[in-house]
Chain A
Amino acid sequence: MSTATPLGPAEVLPGATSCRDDWAARAAAIAEVAARHAQDVDREGRFPAEAVQAMRDSGLLAAWVPQSLGGPGLSLRQIAAMCAQIGGACGASGMIFAMHQIKLSSIVHHAGSSPWYQALQKRVVAEALLLGSVTSEVGVGGDIRRSLTHVVRDGDRFKLDKHGSVVSYGAYADALLITARADEQAPPNGQVMVTVLKDQYQLEKTGSWDAMGMRGTCSDAFMIRSEGACEQIFEAPFAEIIANTMLPVSHILWSSVWFGIAHSALLRARTHLRSVMKQSGGQLPAAATRLPDLVARVQVLHARLLSAATRFEATMAAGQGALPMSLTTDLTLLKSTMSEGCLAVVQEALTTVGFAGYKTEGAASLGRHLRDLHSAPLMINNARLIETMSSFLLMDPLQFGLA
């Protein structure tokens, strides 16, 4: 069932630390590999093994790991830029890269002082471990703030079984970060997060992904049976991790992947219009008049994403602990705006390109972009976010400074 290769010896990858300086070139190289296999990955609904191997070779899987632990210690915006670039080449590869980084950010920001987690970060640098996530659960649907299952402690050991409903690249990850109630008495949202390594869990596949888009994420359902040492349980409650790091980073990095896909669609539309213009002897194609509106939409999305990422990065740098609610609200609104806005851009690009975009093959094909982006409003369903946002916006200062 699991086709991931076992971990090799802990040898230091040549690129692991030096990728701080040339991360952009390395991300471009990953994107090039991802683009080459994107159509096959999508058609077959298979794991983008080539792109993920390129991620491992680049050293960039360790992007968040601070320099004090031998990592490149790249910034959120640099990681966001990589997500957009890889996502523009292959949505599934971009999303896998983003989800891995989201998990890593939780470790770096909430378990940094734990010896076990320091050692894990060093292993992410040395062995380019790919981190997966089990936050969904059969029985609670997509509400990741509630768990049914709980950690069973026995002395300094624990056992944890969880039936994950959507476990992205579960069969290919080297470690899984699993949420569960802290103990049998804990309420549904009294959750902790636990990291288990590949040799500490068994996966039983209970459902297949085979989805409309993002097919290469291989987000199958799995029954997971794991055990480990209690030091692998995050000391910080999951509520704190999700509020201060996981939710903001998820919304920014997901949005970056979606933006990359929308940007790629824009470039495909422009390339197509150029070739039509060439064929018609220099006559401006009628559809080209859609281009200003299309570019303007992309500009608005870009500005929105950049301002949110900049604001969150500044807040993280200030390091005041709890995130202001206005920022949480802003990032939730970012998610809903970007997911719908990027999808609308691809739809508009398709209208601009016409049947050349509707076809599965060819340089102007937009089907994969469109199908991939239909996942965006569903990842933490926007319908679910409306209530949260409506409530929190009543508490929001609604300030829009310019100077």
Chain B
Amino acid sequence: MNNALREIFAKQGRMAQALDGLSDDADLFAAGLDSLAIVNVMLAVEDRFDVEIPDEYLNRATFSSIAALASVLHKLQAEQAST
């Protein structure tokens, strides 16, 4: 999943800095993630993983790193699987 998210951020995030040298935990906003591009990242993620990210996760923290977004997606997938 992390590699897929990395691709999405690289494509949609309008990053000021290349993602290649960054760890999954790196702060993407500090690396120049454009906050306006979050909506593009969100739409791409929802499309790729067939989930809907609920409002309580729509904040900067969710999109602040690959690991943070992956952890939210794991949680959502687990919730969907149990319903």
Contacts and interface: CB of A to CB of B under 8 A. Distances in A.
B83 interface: no
A323 B36 CA distance: 16
A322 interface: yes
A326 interface: yes
A322 B16 contact: no
Contacts of B30: 190, 237, 239
Nearest to A242: B35
Interface string A182-198: 00000111100000000
Interface string B32-52: 101110110010000000000
Contacts of A322: 59-61
B46 to A, nearest CB: 10
A395 B27 CA distance: 22
Given A187-B31, A321-B61, A391-B39, A326 B16 contact: no
Residue of B17, B34, B42, B58 with most partner-chain A CB within 10 A = B58
Interface string A284-308: 0000000000000000000000000
A187 B58 contact: no
A394 B36 CA distance: 11
Interface string B69-81: 0000000000000
A243 interface: yes
B56 A324 contact: yes
B42 A395 contact: yes
Question: Number of contact residues on B: which range applies?
Answer: 10 to 19
A187 B32 contact: yes
B36 A388 contact: yes
Interface in B1-22: 16-17
A391 to B, nearest CB: 5
B32 A395 contact: no
A397 B42 CA distance: 14
B29 A325 contact: no
Contacts of B61: 321-322
A326 B32 contact: no
B55 interface: yes
A239 B59 CA distance: 13
Contacts of B31: 187, 190
A114 B16 CA distance: 30
A394 B60 contact: no
A181 to B, nearest CB: 11
Contacts of A392: 39
Given A188-B16, A239-B29, A395 B59 contact: no
Contact of A187 (B17, B38, B39, B55): B17
A190 B38 contact: no
A387 interface: yes
Given A325-B60, A387-B36, A237 B29 contact: yes
10 contacts: A187-B16, A187-B31, A237-B29, A323-B60, A325-B38, A325-B59, A326-B55, A391-B36, A395-B38, A397-B55
